[in-house]
Amino acid sequence: MRTFIILWFGQLVSLLGSGLTGFALSLWVYKNTNSVTQFALISVLTLLPGIIISPLAGTLGDRWNRHWLMILGNCGAGLSILSIALLFFLGHLEVWHIYAATALSSAFNALQWPAYDAVIPLLVPPQHLVRANGMFQIGLAVSQLISPLLGGFLLVTIQIQGVLILDGITFIFCLAILLLVRLPKSRTTTKAEVSKNSVWHDTLAGWYYITNRPGLFWLLTLFCIYHFVEGTGVVLSTPLFLSFTSTAVLGTMLSIGGSGMILGTALISTWSGGKRRIYTVLGFMLLGGLCMLVAGLRRDVLLCTVAIFLHYFSLPIVVSVKRAIFQSKVAPDLLARVFAVNRMLINLSLLLAYLVAGPLADHVFEPLLTMNGPLAGSVGKIIGVGPGRGIGFLFIIMGMSLMVAIITCYFSPRLRLLESELPNFISH
């Protein structure tokens, strides 16, 4: 685990730096444009290049040296952000520069992540895979939770130019780590030589690998539904909670929810996920769906805070255990392509959620539960009417839909027996 821990620490530092810069640049765009649409475009540009690049990145991750691919991705992402710093110091920074740099950085990150995903099972014994993925979730949690708090403080003290320089230092640190560690080469386990196939054929190989194994296909489908529901919740949770509480209380609620994510990552970093890991995934997914349903039921700060906490507690457990299942059930020389397909489809689900959540809330669900809305006399008698109640109803529907999807998938024996039917490809 020593090499993995060194590599993980480098990525943790890099993720924190990227989180700080993302927060600072988002604020800069909003303050200079006063446009929510232009502010939201940064989130779209963070996801979209990854969706487009991921299939090719998976192919390259299985064709090329994964170590150097990770180095290339880190350098490209770092230079993209440093170009913004240079333009800022020269006084020529414009909003479109930030959009371009965000897209480039996202593309280079997408280039390295499938290789990183595929390297983990080569460094970590099978019994520690869930823990290793849990440690990876710690990096994401720290980036998402600490970056806004630390970013707000740093913007006041060292201003945006200081944040950009700090991010550059974190990229250099991560690059030094990547140059120092030695990573094992993948073992070829499939009959066809990767180099003899076309790039397009290799790009589709990850998709064919999943679809030819119904258990993996059901699991990936369920995850796409899970992340669509998750993305909808991310977009609409703030307007939902602000409909019945203050900004200060909302901040407290989200902080408590964030502590749930930290506790969830801490738990999964010390736990193997149980003997039947698929039951762990489905069980904590059900908890997430139930939390979403409960959050939409009542205008109750305590109830919603508990729901947020438990939802964020379950999230890293679900993601870490699912990643470990894929890492142990996929041939090593196909891992990068399979994880690229995973990342592409999950990001597509998130992007779709980001695009449809607002219009659904504003034009469909909120009008249904106004004082004299079509559902005011039925659903409104249970969950209330007025601002935010339409979003609450959408939360209930999303939570119930996720729970129904989980129960339906459970009745597929291919998913339920996934771990016993498919062979393990890693052994130490």
pLDDT in tens, the chain (428 residues): 788 888 888 888 888 888 778 777 777 776 777 765 676 677 778 888 878 887 788 887 777 788 888 888 889 888 888 888 888 888 888 888 888 988 898 888 888 888 888 888 888 887 788 888 888 777 777 766 676 667 767 777 777 778 888 888 888 898 898 888 887 765 544 444 444 556 667 778 888 999 999 999 999 999 999 999 998 988 788 888 888 988 778 878 877 887 888 889 888 888 877 888 999 999 999 999 999 999 999 999 999 999 999 999 999 899 999 988 998 898 888 888 898 889 889 989 988 988 888 888 888 998 999 998 999 999 999 999 998 899 999 999 999 999 999 999 889 898 999 988 888 875 43
First vs last C-alpha separation in the chain: 12
> What is d(CA 284, CA 277) in angstroms, rounded to the nearest whole number?
11
Give the H/E segment covering residue 14: helix 2-33
What's domain 212-420's superfamily in CATH? MFS general substrate transporter like domains (1.20.1250.20)
Decide: helix, strand or coil at residue 398.
helix
> What is d(CA 381, CA 291) in angstroms, rounded to the nearest whole number?
21
> What is d(CA 397, CA 388) in angstroms, rounded to the nearest whole number?
14
State pTM to two decimals: 0.79
Percent helix, strand and coil across the chain, each to the nearest 5? 85, 0, 15
String of DSSP letters for 119-144: HHHHHS-GGGHHHHHHHHHHHHHHHH
Angle at 51 between CA 221 and CA 112, to 5 degrees: 105
Q: Which regions of the chain carry the CATH code 1.20.1250.20?
A: 1-180, 212-420
Q: Which residue is listed with tokens 């007025």?
A: 386
Q: Which amino acid, 189?
A: T
CA 266 to chain centre: 18
- The CATH classification number of 1-180 equals 1.20.1250.20
Residue 240: phi and psi, rounded to 5, are -65, -50
Give the H/E segment covering residue 170: helix 159-180
> What is d(CA 229, CA 341) in angstroms, rounded to the nearest whole number?
19
